[in-house]
Chains A and B, each alone.
Chain A
């Protein structure tokens, strides 16, 4: 089956640090990748849609300068949380699909804790 690898699984760092999260499709080419944020005991909120070779599309209320997304290849997208602050602490999950008509396959998430 389609496998999406997300790394790291957990990050603990000081306020002001920038953190990069990687999302890789291991056995398929992902033209589209999605980044979600999930607060404790809540559902997933879409942050942005990433298309290979083009700029990401951000959802309303998501700061694109704060959450930098790069989708440089058909198998890798990265999310960089710049100058992270405690309010950025959350569970970030990526997903990837071969095309917009195919199901999304999710990574295992990254637990980000900013001290």
Chain B
């Protein structure tokens, strides 16, 4: 399966700033999900946005979806050092049930 692209590949910000990560995908999707991975650990599901939704919030997270551009963004507001991790988007194609992961963004939040 093809992987999507994410940018930036790495992002370093100061604590308290906002972090924005972008993701693009190639095919029509059923939904798109964002995951977080701490170094050497498994993935933690953050948020799911369906293809008929344009924006979703969860705490300090805001996800947008633009199906016309086949892209999504994840915004983390008021970042904390504990937000330091890699963030992956993953899409489920229409008629499929398999996740196709993006390449990920490594976020470093400096205290």
Q: Which residues of A contact B (CB under 8 A)?
A: 4, 6, 32, 34, 42-46, 49, 59, 91, 93, 95, 100-101, 103-109, 111
CB pair A108 B45 closer than 8 Å: no
For the residues of A in contact with B, the DSSP-based class is strand
- Of A59, A91, A101, A105, the residue contacting B1 (CB under 8 A) is A59
Query: Is B111's beta carbon under 8 Å from chain A?
Result: no
Q: Given A32-B97, A100-B97, verify A107-B45 contact (CB < 8 Å).
A: no
Query: Is B43's beta carbon under 8 Å from chain A?
Result: yes
**Chain B positions 2-60 with a Cβ under 8 Å from a chain A Cβ:** 3, 33, 35, 40-45, 48
Which 10 A-B pairs have CB atoms at the shortest separation, nearest pair first?
Answer: A100-B97, A106-B42, A106-B43, A108-B42, A43-B101, A44-B101, A109-B42, A43-B103, A103-B45, A107-B42
- Of A95, A103, A108, the residue contacting B41 (CB under 8 A) is A108
In the complex, what residue of chain B is closest to A108 when comparing beta carbons? B42
Q: How far is the CA of A109 from the CA of B33 in the complex (A)?
A: 19
Q: Given A46-B1, A46-B99, verify A103-B43 contact (CB < 8 Å).
A: no
Q: Mark B83-107, 1 if CB is under 8 A from A, else 0.
A: 0000010000000011111111000
In the complex, what residue of chain B is closest to A60 when comparing beta carbons? B1
List of B residues within 8 angstroms of A106 by Cβ: 35, 42-45
